[in-house]
Amino acid sequence: MTDRMDDWEPLRRELDRWQAAGRVVRFWLRDDDAIEPTPALETLLALAGESRVPLTLAVIPGLTGEALAARLAAEAGVTVAVHGWSHTNHAGPEAKKQELGGERPADVVLGELREGLRLLERLHPARFQRLLVPPWNRIHAALIPALPGLGFAALSVYGRARQGGPMPLLNTHVDIIDWHGTRGGRGEAELVAELVAELHDRFAGNDEPIGVLTHHLVHDAAAWDFLSALFVMTGRHPAVRWSSASALLR
């Protein structure tokens, strides 16, 4: 247990520095690939709910339906975003996976996104946010200027946002999953170091909210343990405000 506490000490020190300076950092939580109610989704909803952490669920429109809508109807702390259309990879075998790429005609890709937005808006009228979360965090640059015309208000990918693009960005920055190794949760010390690096960047003047990225369907014990510990530490700290995507985009 002592080792775990040591892992978290750099984050505690950095948040104390924010508090001493009278400053507050904004965090937000995005979880990808929701389709239907599952035990893993129940765990995530319970964890976020108990910690009063607003949750943005990136839902795959072409694979979801009424069951998820019914389950989320009473979850006031949940926002639904559009996760592409069907999370299908259309890139070639040597390329990075991408659904929203240049391999297909733009009108086909944009037509799917329009349909996805309409479907999720109908299924989740009280939860819905016009936020596009591209599968694998990738979208062909030529498609982005057309997104506002489809009804999208913002885009969410991975990494620090570049300013001055065609539409607002609400990005994620710390992915808790080890996609190239165990495909479970990454080590706590490594994740804490990434969070501290993001905090250093924000302290220096970048006012972008820090986005934590999760994927409930592949979480192992390490991923759940990290998320739980993060919520406990940040939820009690006066230098942290967990915000909903809707509030951050207002």
pLDDT tens track for 95-105: 999 999 999 99
2-20 and 221-235 helices, crossing angle to 10°: 30
Q: Report the C-alpha gap between 249 and 142 in whole angstroms.
A: 23
108 burial type by CB count under 10 A (0-12 exposed, 13-18 middle, 19+ buried): exposed
For 228-246, what is each residue's pLDDT tens digit? 999 999 999 999 999 999 9
Pairing of strands 128-132, 55-59: unpaired
Q: Where are the domains of the chain?
A: 2-249
C-alpha angle 245/119/116, rounded to 5°? 70
Q: What is the per-residue pLDDT for 4?
A: 67
Q: Which CATH class is domain 2-249?
A: alpha beta
| Per-residue pLDDT reduced to its tens digit, 112-137 | 999 999 999 999 999 999 999 999 99
Convert the pLDDT of each residue in 175-212 to its tens digit: 999 999 999 999 999 999 999 999 999 999 999 999 99
What is the value of pTM for the model shown? Answer: 0.96
The distance from CA 128 to its chain's CA centroid, rounded to whole angstroms, is 15
CB 44 within 8 A of CB 31: yes
Average pLDDT, stretch 53-80?
Answer: 97
